[in-house]
Amino acid sequence: MIGAIAGDVIGSSYEFHPIKSVEFTLFNRFSRFTDDTVCTIALADAILTGGDYTKILRSYCMEYPDAGYGGRFWQWLNSDAAAPYNSFGNGSAMRVSPVGFACTTETEVLEQARRSAVITHNHPEGVKGAQATALAIFLAARGADKQSIKTEIASRFNYDLDRKIEDIRPDYQFDETCQGSVAEAILAFLESNSYENCIRLAVSLGGDADTQACIAGGIAQAFYREVPSFIEQETLTRLTPHMRETISAFRNRYGW
Ligand SMILES: [Mg+2]
């Protein structure tokens, strides 16, 4: 799951300063982990411990209150009721990568992705975004080629994957909905020729850069089998000991 987290860290400095190019510095002094990383690691912990998604997500997020949460999510974190709020934001997709890496059957992936989403993102598009991302990771991790991943995700979730990044890029703007950002992140992966190139393509859309690079980065790690070590190191140094501990426990258990 380090592939998703590195995408978040690399994309973080471009979220509010969008760029429309693949030529940029991967890490700079503003690169940091954001909500995408916190929520991803929380889900990994929930999977590792068999714990409750809601409880663990809330506990991690409160540990890092300045990670840049959306307004509605922040209200959810701070309310005792913690009822889902019918969100179709891409928060369900950005945090789901551990599900794709840990589950052993397609049915399980879809069910766990749904369960991890509905605690907040119970709108059908919110659930779909999480399931599409997790299933793409699951298929890539099991050696599926890009054409089969594309066909499976496009047909099952009705995402338009017959587009090119260079055609989307000029008019693309910040869009934090699942329906306006998940397919584009998957396209960045499909067009890429390496992990790093995938992250560059995702950020180059000039949209919700950290989240789209996080979504694309999880799939790219699964497909290309590894994240370049300098990217992994630069990312890990920007995390906390508690985060690194959970990442390492997850890797020891699931190999990713
Ligand atoms: Mg973020």
Domain ranges of the chain: 2-254
pLDDT tens digits for 221-249? 999 999 999 999 999 999 999 999 999 99
- Could you tell me the distance, in angstroms and rounded to a whole number, from the CA of residue 150 to the centre of ligand 1? 26
- Could you tell me the distance, in angstroms and rounded to a whole number, from the CA of residue 164 to the centre of ligand 1? 24
Q: Rounded distance, CA 20 to CA 40, Å?
A: 26
Residues whose Cβ atom is located within 5 A of ion ligand 1: 34-36, 210
- Could you tell me the distance, in angstroms and rounded to a whole number, from the CA of residue 113 to the centre of ligand 1? 19
Q: Rounded distance, CA 255 to CA 229, Å?
A: 16
pLDDT tens digits for 124-180? 999 999 999 999 999 999 999 999 999 999 999 999 999 999 999 999 999 999 999
pLDDT tens digits for 57-110? 999 999 999 999 999 999 999 998 889 999 999 999 999 999 999 999 999 999
Q: Tokens 């605690």 map to which residue?
A: 119
Q: Tokens 């999480």 map to which residue?
A: 130
Cα→Cα distances 236→27, 188, 239, Å? 12, 23, 5
Q: Output the pLDDT for position 150.
A: 98
Structure tokens at 121: 């993102």
Name the residue type at position 187.
L
- Could you tell me the distance, in angstroms and rounded to a whole number, from the CA of residue 60 to the centre of ligand 1? 15
CATH architecture designation of domain 2-254? Orthogonal Bundle (1.10)
- Could you tell me the distance, in angstroms and rounded to a whole number, from the CA of residue 93 to the centre of ligand 1? 12
Q: Rounded distance, CA 218 to CA 90, Å?
A: 14
Q: Report residue 226: phi and psi, to 5°.
A: -155, 165
- Could you tell me the distance, in angstroms and rounded to a whole number, from the CA of residue 193 to the centre of ligand 1? 25
What is the SS3 assignment for 89? Answer: strand
Q: Report residue 14: phi and psi, to 5°.
A: -110, 0
